[in-house]
Amino acid sequence: MKLDRVMIAAPKSGSGKTTITCAILQTLKDMGKQVVSYKCGPDYIDPMFHQRVIGIPSKNLDTFFTGENDTRKLLLKNRTGEEIAVIEGVMGLYDGLGGVREEGSSYHLAKVTKTPIILVVDAKGMGRSVIPLIAGFLAYDTEHLIRGVILNRMSKSYYEIIKPLIETELQIRVLGYLAERQQLQIQSRHLGLHLPGEIKEIQRQLEVAAEELQKSVSIETIIQIAASAETIEIEKITETTEKITSTELITKPLIAVARDEAFCFYYEDNLLLLKEYGADIAYFSPLHDKELPEGSSGLLLGGGYPELYAKELEENTAMRKEIKAAVESGMPVVAECGGFLYLHTAIRDRDGHPYQMAGVLPAACQDTKKLVRFGYIELEEKESNFLEVGTRIKGHEFHYFDSEKNGEDCIAIKPVTGRTYPCVIEKENVWMGFPHLYYPSNPSFADHFVKKAEQYLGGKYGEFLSFF
């Protein structure tokens, strides 16, 4: 399939990839292009910018999660030849697993998908030294995928001096520059970028970034580079058809998905898999709603920032009681990170003040004021409930809070070091813990979740929740 595409990558984090990617996406949208975007790696927040602020489809691609062929399939899934895809890289271009392996890096994704790369270089404080920096990245590019450079945080006057030197010495196109402007910088916090709704006038901020980009960066050359991407040859893609079962002929199982300011971390391909295995999805807000969607037969509580909304969550007593009653009735539930926190008896803030949560798990969780766990993992069940025997599912952890009861029903394996540790509370109908799971890495997880929701809908109740 021929899909025009380009990756925006950088030598290191903090180079301006997200701002420039968003500016390019906004510009392409304003030009009337059918634009879609992808984020390399496990990050949830950049795709939220792409979807909620710019209003274009966006999802994650990760070669650690899904390997080479499945990643190519996920790139092309639901795409058409009329679209242009922009992929935002992660960290430094060559930084993969453990910072040392190629797998999981932006470069590996570009290589696997044959995607041309535009390198964003933060040139602040640099003169001619920017040339050997770019030269080193070009020398390491064995597939010759880097097709252009954008210089960030550089003045117009110096850009006009350095551009011809770079192009003459390195034989690489310099597509433009962005001058340093504070209003173009997207602020950060402990879990990454701020959520779109938390940044004042974020849409106007990105519009200004797009306007600046159009003045000093050749968007036409970016489009040409994207159009030069090779055709991707893979096995014929056949969309997963929804299951037709006797239960489903009457009604599909309905999985209630928490989605609001406090719970917002979801991989779009996870939700798509649940639908493809036969479930309907209904969103609800633990912050604002008083009850679960009518007819719910499964519950998915994703990650997010419940600690920032602990007071509001505590005050919604009706929803806390509703969720506790649903889980105790045997309704299948998957709760990840922030959703896992919400199921505790209480969340304690940095000052030790407790806020009452759903009370499903008789334990508290607290802010440790430091990063507890970070990075990729693979998970094995000690007893098979959501996965086929002997298989693993891949995921990612990033949390500052910790629990008095993290669970010991699964084993987490670090992919680079092989270090293992117990985690997750997992029984017949429940999966609760800090890891964020990526279902396409083992689709049987989604299949089993939907089947459990079908069984609940049909009157078969799971194991009553009494863990401790």
User: Does residue 109 sit in the same domain as residue 183?
Assistant: yes
150: nearest Cα among 235, 24, 1 = 24
Confidence of residue 199 (pLDDT cuts 50, 70, 90): low
Same domain flag for 214 and 280: no
Tens of pLDDT, residue by residue over 375-387, are 999 999 999 999 9
Host domain of residue 64:
4-227
Determine the pLDDT at residue 454. Answer: 96
What's the CATH code of the domain at 195? 3.40.50.300
pLDDT at 182 exceeding the cut of 80 = no
The last residue of a domain, from among 163, 192, 227: 227
pLDDT confidence tier of residue 373, bands split at 50, 70 and 90: very high
Question: What is the spatial distance between Cα 388 and Cα 348, in angstroms, rounded to a whole number?
Answer: 37
Q: CB of 282 within 8 A of CB of 318?
A: no
| Active site annotation includes 337 | yes
The model's pLDDT over 406-431, given as tens digits with 9 standing for 90+, comes to 999 999 999 999 999 999 999 999 99
How far is residue 346 from each of residues 257, 311, 343, 406, 412, measured CA to CA in Å?
Answer: 21, 11, 8, 14, 25
Instruction: Report if residue 143 sits inside a domain.
Output: yes
* pLDDT computed for residue 100 by the predictor: 87
- Report the CATH number at residue 347: 3.40.50.880
| Mean pLDDT within 21-43 | 95
Reported in sequence order, the residue ranges of 125-168 that DSSP labels E, i.e. its strands, are 146-152
Please pick, among 40, 264, 337, 423, the residue that the annotation labels catalytic.
Answer: 337
**Per-residue pLDDT, 459:** 86
Task: Verify that 219 and 272 share a domain, yes or no.
Answer: no
The pLDDT, as a whole number, for residue 460 is 75
| Same domain? 135 vs 205 | yes
pLDDT in tens, 428-465: 999 999 999 999 999 999 999 999 999 999 887 766 55
Q: Which residues on adjacent β-strands are paired with residue 319?
A: none
Residue 208 scores a pLDDT above 90: no
Instruction: Please check whether residue 237 lies inside any domain of the structure.
Output: no
With bands split at pLDDT 50, 70 and 90, how would you rate the model's confidence at 351?
confident
Asked if residue 196 and residue 81 are part of one domain, the reply reads yes
Report if residue 239 sits inside a domain.
no
Q: Please say whether the beta carbons of 148 and 221 come within 8 A.
A: yes
Q: Write down the mean pLDDT value for the chain.
A: 91
pLDDT digits (tens, 9 = 90+) for 257-314: 999 999 999 999 999 999 999 999 999 999 999 999 999 999 999 999 899 999 999 9
Q: Is residue 233 part of a domain?
A: no
